């Protein structure tokens, strides 16, 4: 039985793609869909593509006639057919389907949980009278993200009840650190030296940076809410999808696609229709000075830009590179969400006593009905945030941002079913426009991902064809 090294041609023995690099997916049960990059897999694939009965002349004989050329061509065709049905292609297709399925699940979870959070928060403030916007909407809701990782750990442990808790914990931490190293070096295949890197200082700085971007984006809403009209506030803040696409072009090197630009613009038009369609009735009796309204619009404009930047920054700085399994992306996204929650709890309590002493927001904990409804709202926000960050990691910031605009229409539908107040024509029209923009963008994103997958397959086939053509040339001349 020839060894793996003996089955490789002289040209393949020293090809870097045949050298084994350490990949943490080899130790991950959830990532077994991806092919192993080791020598054994490469050698077995090459050996499996060889014909079982070799009718070629003896190795030492040189045959360059027509029959020899035709025989080489036949072997090349058989090799191409074997590659087209290779397990790696099937695994890649399975991973893509799993990625789409998980993205769909997290999209539904994010939409439903956001509606629950919004309705409970509005009821707590308007009906129960507990109006503490910073404490409720900024500190407690974002701080609740800290529970995401423990819940995830418990769910994963329940899937492996026979494994000791300490062993499982060490393996889980190793899994997270390995993903951090992937982000640090920008590749899924780690060498032995890269596996020894300490990624924690780098990830700590990135998490603090992401938290700052999210805090600035959220704080502008509280500053501008009493300076401008509700319509301006809604319309400007929800145009963050446009800025997410702009930042994606510069930071994520996304190509400018006409269908994507059109989808984002249509989504923003839908937001404007919803925001200004019924603004007359809502804003009667509320006079906003021109100077304050302009300043408020500028402040919320900064928030819209920063929220788009936050989404793209998270994708670039805290998401695993392309090629990891979908489950690895989800597990790490939930870990980052908990890290953002810890940072919020440790730092953003500082303004609470300052607001209390200045009289801007008196500190008071919720009681009775407000307390348990606040618990539901906080839990719903944790579900939304974990699902939203996972959706960004699995797809793109632009698609996730436009998907979040669907909540405007869903909240309006929920209000109609809850209060009995029918939807206005403009709210219905704006919701349909936003929904159409989302489905158009989803189709464009799916088509773009398929094109990228086809380009990767063609590049792989071209590289393999070059290797096989070199080998067949040697065999044709009797090397």
In tens, the pLDDT along 252-303 reads: 988 888 888 899 999 889 888 887 776 554 444 455 555 677 888 898 899 9
pLDDT at 1: 46
End-to-end Cα distance, the chain: 22
Q: How many CB atoms lie within 10 A of CB 103?
A: 23
Helix, strand or coil, per DSSP, at residue 32? coil
Give the contacts of 374 (CB within 8 A, at least 6 positions apart).
Answer: 120, 124, 130, 136, 140, 366
What is each CA distance from 215 to 57, 212, 222, 308, 378, in whole angstroms?
73, 5, 11, 13, 17
Q: What is the pLDDT of residue 87?
A: 59
Annotate 366-433 with three-state secondary structure: CCCHHHHHHHHHHHHHHHHHHHHHHHHHHCCHHHHHHHHHHHHHHHHHHHHHHHCCCCCHHHHHHHHH
Q: What parts of the chain have a pLDDT lower than 50?
A: 1-72, 82-84, 281-285, 467-468, 470-479
Residue numbers of the domain that contains 270? 98-439
Residue 261 falls inside a structural domain = yes
CA distance 479 to 477: 6
139 C-beta neighbours (distance < 10 Å), count: 17
CA dist list (Å): 350 to 144, 204, 346, 356, 362:
17, 20, 9, 11, 14
Position 405 scores a pLDDT of 87
Would you mind telling me the total number of residues written for the chain in this entry? 479
* φ/ψ of residue 266, rounded to 5: -65, -40
| pLDDT at residue 226, as a whole number | 73
Q: Give CA angle at 292 (288, 294), nearest 5°.
A: 105
Tell me, yes or no, whether 462 lies in a domain.
no
- Residue 403 domain flag: yes
Neighbour-count burial of 259, counting CB atoms closer than 10 A to its CB (0-12 exposed, 13-18 middle, 19+ buried): middle
Please report the DSSP string for 92-119 in residue order: HHHHHHHHHHHHHHHHHHHHHHHHHHHH
Total number of domains in the chain: 1
CA distance readout (Å), 299 to 81, 176, 227, 307, 383: 60, 37, 9, 12, 28
**CA angle at 325 for the pair 323 and 330, rounded to the nearest 5°:** 120
Nearby residues of 16 by Cβ (< 8 Å), 6 or more positions away: none
Encode burial over 306-342: b for 16+ CB neighbours within 10 A, e otherwise. bbbbbbbbbbbbbbbeebbbbbbbbbbbbbbbbbbbe
**Is residue 351 within 8 Å of residue 134, measured between CB atoms?**
yes
Does residue 301 belong to any structural domain of this protein?
yes
- Does 162 fall in a domain? yes
Q: Which of 86, 83, 78, 87 is nearest to 54 (CA)?
A: 78
Output the pLDDT for position 72: 46
| Listed residue (430, 435, 437) closest to 266, CA to CA | 437
List the one residue out of 120, 347, 332, 388 whose CA is nearest residue 215. Answer: 347
Q: Do the Cβ atoms of 438 and 270 come closer than 8 Å?
A: no
Instruction: Retrieve residue 160's tokens.
Output: 């492996």
- Which residues fall within 8 angstroms of residue 373, CB to CB, at 6 or more apart? 120, 123, 124, 128, 366
Residue 475, both tokens: 């065999």
Measure the CA–CA gap between 340 and 143, rounded to whole angstroms: 8
And the tokens for 66? 């027509």
The H or E element spanning position 476 is: helix 425-476
Does residue 20 lie in a domain region? no
The Cα–Cα gap between 206 and 159 comes to: 31
Q: Is residue 183 part of a domain?
A: yes
Residue 132 lies in a domain: yes
| Three-class secondary structure of residue 292 per DSSP | helix
Q: Where are the alpha helices (DSSP H) in 225-368?
A: 230-237, 240-251, 258-277, 279-282, 290-318, 326-347, 351-358
Taking the alpha carbons of 77, 78, 82, 85 in that order, is the dihedral positive or negative?
positive
């Amino acid at each position: 039985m020839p060894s793996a090294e003996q089955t490789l041609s002289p040209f393949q023995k020293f090809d870097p793609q045949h050298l084994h690099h350490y990949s943490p997916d080899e130790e991950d049960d959830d990532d077994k869909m991806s092919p192993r990059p080791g020598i054994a897999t490469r050698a077995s694939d090459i050996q499996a593509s060889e014909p079982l009965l070799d009718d070629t002349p003896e190795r030492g004989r040189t045959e360059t006639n027509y029959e020899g050329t035709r025989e080489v061509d036949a072997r090349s065709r058989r090799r191409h057919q074997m590659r087209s049905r290779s397990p790696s292609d099937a695994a890649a297709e399975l991973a893509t389907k799993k990625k789409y399925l998980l993205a769909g699940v997290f999209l539904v979870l994010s939409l439903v949980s956001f509606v629950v959070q919004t309705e409970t928060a509005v009821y707590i403030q308007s009906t129960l009278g507990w109006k503490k916007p910073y404490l409720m909407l900024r500190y407690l809701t974002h701080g609740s993200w800290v529970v995401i990782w423990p819940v995830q750990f418990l769910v994963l442990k329940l899937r492996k009840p026979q494994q000791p808790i300490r062993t499982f914990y060490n393996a889980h931490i190793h899994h997270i650190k390995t993903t951090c190293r992937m982000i640090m070096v920008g590749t899924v295949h780690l060498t032995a030296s890269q596996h020894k890197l300490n990624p924690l200082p780098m990830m700590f700085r990135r998490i603090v940076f992401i938290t700052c971007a999210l805090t600035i984006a959220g704080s502008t809403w509280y500053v501008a809410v009493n300076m401008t009209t509700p319509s301006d506030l809604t319309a400007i803040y929800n145009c963050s999808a446009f800025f997410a696409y702009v930042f994606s072009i510069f930071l994520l090197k996304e190509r400018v696609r006409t269908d994507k630009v059109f989808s984002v613009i249509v989504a923003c038009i839908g937001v404007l229709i919803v925001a200004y369609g019924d603004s007359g009735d809502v804003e009667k009796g509320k006079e906003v000075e021109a100077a304050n309204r302009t300043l408020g619009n500028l402040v919320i404009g900064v928030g819209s830009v920063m929220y788009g930047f936050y989404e793209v920054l998270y994708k670039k700085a805290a998401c695993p590179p392309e090629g990891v399994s979908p489950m690895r992306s989800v597990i790490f996204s939930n870990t980052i969400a908990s890290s953002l929650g810890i940072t919020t709890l440790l730092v953003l309590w500082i303004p609470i006593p300052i607001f209390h002493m200045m009289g801007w927001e008196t500190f008071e904990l919720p009681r009775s009905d407000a307390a348990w409804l606040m618990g539901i709202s906080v839990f719903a926000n944790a579900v939304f945030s974990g699902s939203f960050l996972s959706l960004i990691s699995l797809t793109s910031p632009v698609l996730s941002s436009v998907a979040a605009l669907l909540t405007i229409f869903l909240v309006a539908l929920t209000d109609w079913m809850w209060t009995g107040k029918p939807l206005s024509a403009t709210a219905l029209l704006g919701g349909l426009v936003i929904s159409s923009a989302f489905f158009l963008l989803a189709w464009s994103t799916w088509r773009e991902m398929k094109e990228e997958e086809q380009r990767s397959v063609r590049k792989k086939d071209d590289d393999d064809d070059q290797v096989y053509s070199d080998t067949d040339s040697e065999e044709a001349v009797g090397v």
